[in-house]
Amino acid sequence: MTINGVLNLNKPVGETSMDMVRMVKRLTREKKVGHGGTLDPIASGVLPICFGQATRLMDPLVDGTKLYRTKVRLGETTDTYDSDGTIVATADATGVTREAIDAALEAFRGQILQVPPMYSALKHGGERLYDLARAGFEVEREARSVKVSRLEILEWNSPDVVLDIECGRGVYVRSIGHDLGQTLGCGAHIIELERRKAGPFIVENGVTPEAFAAAVEADTWRDFIHTPDTVVQHLPSATVTGAMESFVKNGRPVTLGPREAIADAEHEDLWRVYSHDGQFLALARFDKRLGQWKPEKVFDPEPAARVKDPALS
């Protein structure tokens, strides 16, 4: 039977995101499995694992808000911007103060331009940057606009500073650590990284690989699977009945909600659509020209296996 839903996996340090996907596929024997946002091997924390139809909702997970906690070591610069790399420069950081760090962090708050690290999965001329870096090449990378909603000092114990970072898609925490060191004039790299939140999922409610393996052995692992629409609970919702259900299932535009909902809707707003008995049918996008919502992603309302949606907090 096919499972449709999301597992909040707590990835350990030392494993890749794809290692975790392969482990879950091997244990569950589910065929359609993917992850909702890569974590580096040095990183631990929330790694959403999507099953079945939920793999169609990986974009909202990747696009959603993330919360990271990282420990940055001042005075040492590495080629990978983290402790997995080789130290390429050292400098005296004993004169750096908490006030100086906080002042330097101001440049990394809000909508900022960030240059991705060479050791990243981005492509240049059809090749991964990390492959070029390992071959000894460094190429110019274009700065990208990314959003850092919150960036705060949690602890300061020289030469290490612990930061909490709330951000959107595309932010490289390693680059924040590296660039902070460059701004302070002493260099820096990250030595610890934890993703504490991704979309609706938080690390406190994550399942370790060991606990998940034990649940598979006991045939209770489905209790850890959140329903697909958990990913998009932040969106408005509407219920359709009768012929409207059929329209949605067939991808035809429908009217959702009262007249006020149409008047207030912005072009391309997304809504969740449910059947009269509460089954998740689709994500529909508002078309201002039609004054209706067009089903964009339609989901099977009768999955082969129903899954439980444990509380997220």
Catalytic residue among 40, 79, 179, 229: 40
Residues paired with 110 in a beta bridge: 148
Q: Tell which residue, 211, 245, 203, 272, has the closest CA to residue 46.
A: 203
Say if residues 229 and 80 touch (Cβ distance below 8 Å): no
How many other C-beta atoms lie within 10 A of the C-beta of residue 291? 13
Tokens coding 175:
């680059």
Number of helices and strands in the chain (H, E)? 8, 18
**What are the C-alpha distances in Å from 70 to residues 63, 64, 82, 154, 175?**
20, 19, 11, 10, 12
Q: How far apart are the first and last CA of the chain?
A: 29
Give dist(CA 147, CA 171) in Å, integer.
7
CB neighbour class for 293 (10 Å; exposed up to 12, middle 13-18, buried from 19):
buried
Residues in the chain, how many?
313
Which class for 64: exposed (0-12), middle (13-18), buried (19 or more C-beta within 10 A)? buried
Residue 192 corresponds to which amino acid?
E
The two three-digit tokens of residue 130, written as one number: 């990390």
Which 3 state secondary structure label does DSSP give 48?
Answer: strand
Please confirm, yes or no, whether 269 is among the known catalytic residues.
Answer: no
Q: Which residues are catalytic?
A: 40
